Amino acid sequence: MSSAPIYLDYAATTPVDPQVAQAMAECLTAAGDFGNPSSVHAYGRAAAERIARARGQVAALVGARPADVVFTSGATESNNLAILGAARANADRGRHLVTSRTEHKSVLDPFRRLEKEGFEVTWLTPGPEGRIEPRAFAAALRADTVLAALMYANNETGVLGDVPAIGALCRERGVAFHTDCAQAAGKIPLALGELPVDFAAFTAHKLYGPKGIGALYVRDGARGLLQALSYGGGQERSLRPGTLPTHQIVGFGAACALAARELPGEGPRIRALRERLWQALEALGDTYLNGAGTERLPGILNVSFAGVHGESLIGALPGLAVSSGSACNSQSAEPSYVLRALGRSTQLAQSSLRFSLGRCTTASEVDAAAAAVSVAVQRLRALSPGSPSARGHRNGWAAGAGPGTLVAGEAGGQGEETWVRFELLVSGDTVKEARFQAFACPHTMEVAAWLCGALRGRSRRALVPGTPDAWAKEHAVPAEKLGRLLRLEDALSACLAHWT
């Protein structure tokens, strides 16, 4: 029986609400408002009216004036426009910028780009709870600081930044201030017009709207602090020229109106489900709530499970759609830089899962997810370093393996990204049984398990079956992970060294 996996990845994206899809469909065909909103005829005016209404709906959700909303393709573009646009427009006043290490990539990368253009960036590291202290922020500001950025809510942990205090510090010092609200909008009440914020980024697809549309909030009077990144027809106050995509904007507006209506009920409901999930996971023991003890979004729960590799855990949970803090399947094998910045060890950062709950999440889904995670964590912990249950039974000695000598060898550190230990039960010159323990990605685990089978019956001289290269081919291990398989070879070599 295979049913659809339980979706607990609403922080990655959300499904489009059917009412939103309906509103979008009304702006596409000849029967609908398909006109160019810049045209002065009736078709154009109908589309322009739709867009004006949507602009009002977006503005209302975030506590802004409709005139402050600049439509873009999403939060990535909005972050780029605010950061590159404000830094370059003010470069003659100063070339120093301030931000946090735990921002979204679409904030980090424009700042890195500006470093290449000769700007100097101060990268702040949050405290163990995930927040930048206003005092630390104030200390980073200089006479030549022209721009600072701090996200409203973090996408991995849900931790809220102290935007009111830090925005106020910027305003006092005449520093332009940008905040990435992609995760916060529609999840908690926002009143941008009452905050010391110059620019803010939004995206529709995190709040049940379509992908490919978002907005940049530009405070009344802050337009002059920005320079455009593209040039064209003058739309969106010349900050984002190009024909406005009526259907996308109408979908974004409808999603915002719906979010505003649902927020008072959905916030508490989702927070209660998140607490229910955490209580079930906490009962497993040796689990850590990332961002505990500070204000967070209601729908995000980020948990580290000691001794269990996040990607291996996801691999063991086919019935669950969640994200892990490690990026095993991407080019970089880096553990979450957000969790590392919070002071988690490499292994704990790599042992994390992000559960994000949303509008369709039910209590029975939460219970089923918690039960599945518990089973998988217990199973993987039985294979992992330092776990008491690891001795004895995991791929345990087969009954009747008979007497023999135990030979063990390991490679990698227990604090490192990969750690593996082989234990061989040998008799004379022959391996009778082999077993392993590891903290490693799913590919490494799979090859280790296969090796244990292949080692049985091998002689000391021919202990290592093939080369890591051949193992990689056999198990379709991506090239960038070959280095991890070398750890397996190292551990087998260590066994040989102890086999006397």
Catalytic residues: 328
Least Å distance between CB 71 and ligand PLP?
Answer: 12
- Taking CB under 6 A as the rule, does residue 74 contact ligand PLP? yes
Check binding of 180 to ligand PLP (CB under 6 A). yes
290 CB contacts (<8 Å, ≥6 apart)? Answer: 130, 156, 157, 302, 303, 304, 325, 339, 342, 344, 352
114 binds ligand PLP (CB under 6 A): no
75 is a contact residue toward ligand PLP (CB under 6 A): yes
206 is a site residue for ligand PLP (CB under 6 A): yes
Choice between 75 and 306, CB closer to ligand PLP: 75
What is the DSSP annotation of 268-323?
HHHHHHHHHHHHHHHTTSSEEETTTTS-B-TTEEEEEETT--HHHHHHT-TTEE-E
Using CB under 6 A as the binding rule, whether residue 106 contacts ligand PLP is answered as yes
% helix, strand, coil for the chain, step of 5: 40, 20, 40
Count of residues interacting with ligand PLP (CB under 6 A): 13
**Burial class for 295, CB neighbours closer than 10 Å (0-12, 13-18, 19+):** middle
Task: Report CA torsion sign: 266, 271, 272, 273.
Answer: positive
Per CB under 6 A, does 76 bind ligand PLP?
yes
Residue 19 beta carbon to ligand PLP: minimum distance, rounded to whole angstroms: 21
With contacts defined by CB under 6 A, name the span among 122-130, 179-187, 274-282, 326-334 that binds ligand PLP: 179-187
Instruction: Give the nearest residue (CB) to ligand PLP.
Output: 74
Dihedral-angle region of residue 241 (phi above 0 means left; psi in -120 to 50 means alpha; beta otherwise): beta
| 155 scored as a contact of ligand PLP (CB under 6 A) | yes
* Candidates 55-63, 70-78, 108-116, 254-262; binding stretch for ligand PLP (CB under 6 A): 70-78
How far, in Å, are 49, 73, 91, 418 from residue 415 at the CA level?
A: 59, 41, 44, 8
Which range binds ligand PLP by CB under 6 A, 20-28, 161-169, 175-183, 291-299?
Answer: 175-183
Per CB under 6 A, does 200 bind ligand PLP? no
Burial of 455 (0-12, 13-18, 19+ CB in 10 A): buried
Supply φ then ψ for residue 430, to 5 degrees.
-125, 145
- C-beta neighbour count of 476 within 10 angstroms: 8
Q: Return the H-helix or E-strand segment holding 489.
A: helix 482-498
Q: Does 351 sit near ligand PLP (CB under 6 A)?
A: no
Residue nearer to ligand PLP on the CB measure, 214 or 307: 214
- Length of the chain equals 500
Q: What are the C-alpha distances in Å from 89 to residues 201, 411, 442?
A: 18, 53, 47
The reply on whether position 182 binds ligand PLP by CB under 6 A is yes
The answer to whether residue 203 forms part of the interface with ligand PLP (CB under 6 A) is yes
187: contact with ligand PLP by CB under 6 A: no
Q: Give the shortest CB-489-to-ligand PLP separation in angstroms.
A: 40
Q: For ligand PLP, which stretch binds (CB under 6 A), given 176-184, 216-224, 343-351, 413-421?
A: 176-184
Residue 183 interacting with ligand PLP (CB under 6 A):
yes
Q: Which positions touch ligand PLP (CB under 6 A)?
A: 74-76, 104, 106, 151, 155, 180, 182-183, 203, 206, 214
